[in-house]
Amino acid sequence: MPFETSPTSSGHARAVPETEASRIEEIRAAQLKFFKSGATLTRAFREEQLRALSSAMEKFESKIAAALFEDLGKNAAQTYITEVGLVKADCSRAIKRLAGWMKPRAGLPGIALAPAITHRVPQPLGLNLIIAPWNYPVQLALAPLVGAIAAGNVAVVKPSEVSAASSEVIAELIADTFAPEHIACVTGGVETSTHLLAVRWDHLFFTGGPVVGKIVAHAAAEHFSRLTLELGGKSPTIVTATANLEVAAKRIMFGKCTNAGQTCIAPDYLLVERSVHDELLTRMATAVKGFYGEDPSQASDYGRIINDRHFERIAKLIDADKVFMGGQTDAATRYIAPTILRDVGVDDAVMQSEIFGPILPVIAVDDLDEAIALIERHPNPLALYLFTGERKDEKKVLDRVSFGDGCVNQTLIQFADHNVPFGGIGHSGTGAYHGDASFWTFSHVKGVVRASNMFDMSLRYPPFEKNMGLIRRLIG
């Protein structure tokens, strides 16, 4: 995802400045020197930088909104809800919780190690590279940065060249807010990304697709770098016969249509019990009309596909014979209507990979067991959504299905909950962030045992044989 040429809203290539390998190494050297100076270690410094980032989100909000409209057709309201507001909330929580996060956790060891006190000390990782995607270009570049700053790190942010207008604003915001030896932004295309991955970082944080994720993982392995991968997958939604269909319909279509479906945790396909299948589809069509009117192309809250290539890929997935609602496309404006496909088969093209667009294929199932069996045909999804009125259904799905995060009777909102670590499993990623998890993702927990000199047990030293009875009791 982040390594492709970026088009403008008109579909023509825009030149994005390239950063040469020598310049990248200069940035790394300056950041390493700054980190080793200890300047990032104090709570006061970290809080100051987090406040600066929060203020920058307000200062640049209008520029961010204009860029997101150019890249993705997002209006000002969506810009705040899905990008600016989330970063500000991350900053606010980090500032409030930072003292507690930084405090070493003390404990007592077993009696065999007494007298002593154990400590778990959070330590910043050092040099971090954050590679962001194009679908939520500002939020997914800067939310991980909050964790890096809170944990006392230095970082380079690489925004996606695909969302070119947003990339330019991110670079301007970072340059205006931070000293480059602390936080820097590097823009560019494939050559720049290749240079960045060729050098060593203490931690690589990548959000994007699994194909590029493998490239990043290989680069991390070459340098024994810590690695966080936030990927994607076909995130299923299940609706049982006991669900509140009116509420489910609205929440499913909200999750599918947000950002024109270009959301890694959007409902990718729908499995609905046969007895409520027709009623749910009717209610979902009604919900879309309530959101966007009779013609979503005229609705300011409905976005556009990022570029011509993705538009063409998504449009080809629409089987005209299976369209229940929507299906309209306009290549000139990269508009694809919210689309529901019914009577979809598991072997259809739309079921073979993540859609990443506003198409929702629907498959009727006889029961929950059949739904779970269908889900298990795909790799571990990043998200799962279950709509049901039965706790036993909830328990069955949570016990049997492996997925990153999800909701019961809702969609998307797990991403905005600071109490829920956000991350995938297996094919959908490794590691997690948000809230407390962001701090720990960018920290190493250093274990330290502080021993007392008040007395020194002789049984700790050879010869051991005469004390083995006592040693066994103390250890085991």
Residue range 451-458: average pLDDT?
86
Interior angle at CA 305, CA 304 and CA 307, nearest 5? 125
CB 268 within 8 A of CB 362: no
CA nearest to 332, candidates 103, 10, 1: 10
CA nearest to 335, candidates 309, 310, 303: 303
Q: Can you tell me which residue has the tokens 């709509």?
A: 387
pLDDT of residue 1: 37
pTM score, whole prediction:
0.93
State yes or no: is 230 an active-site residue: yes
Question: pLDDT above 90 covers what percent of the chain?
Answer: 86
Q: φ, ψ for residue 124 (rounded to 5)? A: -65, 150
CA nearest to 24, candidates 172, 198, 162: 198
pLDDT (tens digit per residue) in 18-74: 446 889 999 999 999 999 999 999 999 999 999 999 999 999 999 999 999 999 999
pLDDT of residue 135: 97
pLDDT (tens digit per residue) in 205-214: 999 999 999 9
- Domain boundaries, given as residue ranges, for the chain: 21-231+430-445, 236-423
pLDDT of residue 139: 98
Q: d(Cα 226, Cα 223) in Å, to the nearest integer?
A: 9
More confident residue, 12 or 86: 86
Among 230, 257, 354, 407, the one annotated catalytic: 230
Confidence of residue 17 (pLDDT cuts 50, 70, 90): very low
Confidence of residue 87 (pLDDT cuts 50, 70, 90): very high
Q: 432-441: b or e for each residue (b if 16 or more CB lie within 10 Å)?
A: bbbbbbbbbb
Query: Does residue 186 carry a pLDDT above 90?
Result: yes
Distant-in-sequence, close-in-space partners of 334: CB < 8 Å, separation ≥ 6 = 9, 11, 304, 305, 306, 307, 308, 311
pLDDT of residue 5: 33
Helix, coil or strand: residue 383: strand
Let me know how many helices (H) and strands (E) the chain has, helices first.
Answer: 16, 18
Strand order in the sheet with 323-325: 323-325, 339-341, 359-365, 269-273, 236-239, 383-387, 405-408
DSSP per position, 277-311: HHHHHHHHHHHHHHHH-S-GGG-TT----SSHHHH
pLDDT (tens digit per residue) in 213-241: 999 999 999 999 999 999 999 999 999 99
Mean pLDDT of the chain: 94
Q: d(Cα 269, Cα 234) in Å, to the nearest integer?
A: 7
- Among 3.30.300.30, 3.40.50.2000, 3.30.450.20, 3.40.605.10, name the CATH number for the domain at 21-231+430-445: 3.40.605.10
Query: Does residue 280 carry a pLDDT above 60?
Result: yes
| Residue 189: C-alpha distances to residues 9, 174, 192, 447 (Å) | 18, 19, 5, 40
Strands 405-408 and 383-387 come out as parallel
pLDDT of residue 11: 35
- Specify the CATH architecture of the domain 236-423: 3-Layer(aba) Sandwich (3.40)
pLDDT of residue 4: 40
Confidence of residue 114 (pLDDT cuts 50, 70, 90): confident
Among 91, 185, 264, 407, the one annotated catalytic: 264
Q: What is the DSSP letter of 433?
A: B
Q: Per the structure block, which two tokens stand in for 405?
A: 């995060």
* Choice among 259-263, 280-284, 350-354, 448-452 with the minimum mean pLDDT: 448-452
State yes or no: is 91 an active-site residue: no
* Choice among 136-145, 201-210, 421-430, 461-470 with the minimum mean pLDDT: 461-470
Q: d(Cα 269, Cα 427) in Å, to the nearest integer?
A: 17
Distant-in-sequence, close-in-space partners of 452: CB < 8 Å, separation ≥ 6 = 115, 116
Query: Sign of the CA dihedral 47, 49, 51, 53?
Result: negative
pLDDT of residue 14: 37
Chain CA centroid to CA 181, Å: 26
Distant-in-sequence, close-in-space partners of 377: CB < 8 Å, separation ≥ 6 = 346
Query: Does residue 277 carry a pLDDT above 90?
Result: yes
CB 82 within 8 A of CB 314: no
More confident residue, 16 or 213: 213
* Choice among 86-95, 113-122, 170-179 with the minimum mean pLDDT: 113-122
